[in-house]
Amino acid sequence: MAKRIILRPERIQTKEDMNTYMKELFSFEEKNACSNLDALRDSLSEVEEETVFILTPGTIQKICANEYAYKVLLALGYAAEENPAISIRFREATRTME
């Protein structure tokens, strides 16, 4: 079963918040695994566990309202393109998770 993550936009609005959040979500061993967007992308490229990031319309709206959060979303998208274990799914806010 895939690891499902409902992305929390308030946790990715700054480099420091994103670093803490991603380290909580993934057990990255390297100290600087998420210290910046390039490091995040590199770290996600090594994830082997099937992981699905879930985005709702409200989440997307909040991410697009914050420049850094938007850059994090782009980094997640690039990671999903490069690593078949990472994916991003969109769902309606009222729909329950499968």
3-state SS assignment for residue 6: strand
CATH number, domain 3-90, options 3.30.530.20, 3.30.370.10, 2.40.50.100, 3.40.50.1390: 3.30.370.10
Tens of pLDDT, residue by residue over 63-73, are 999 999 999 99
The set of residues, in sequence order, having a beta carbon less than 8 Å from that of 93 and lying 6+ positions away, is: 56, 57, 58
Among 27, 4, 22, which residue's Cα sits nearest to residue 12? 22
d(CA 53, CA 44): 12
d(CA 89, CA 87): 7
Q: Where are the domains of the chain?
A: 3-90
Tens of pLDDT, residue by residue over 7-55, are 999 999 999 999 999 989 998 777 677 889 999 999 999 999 999 999 9
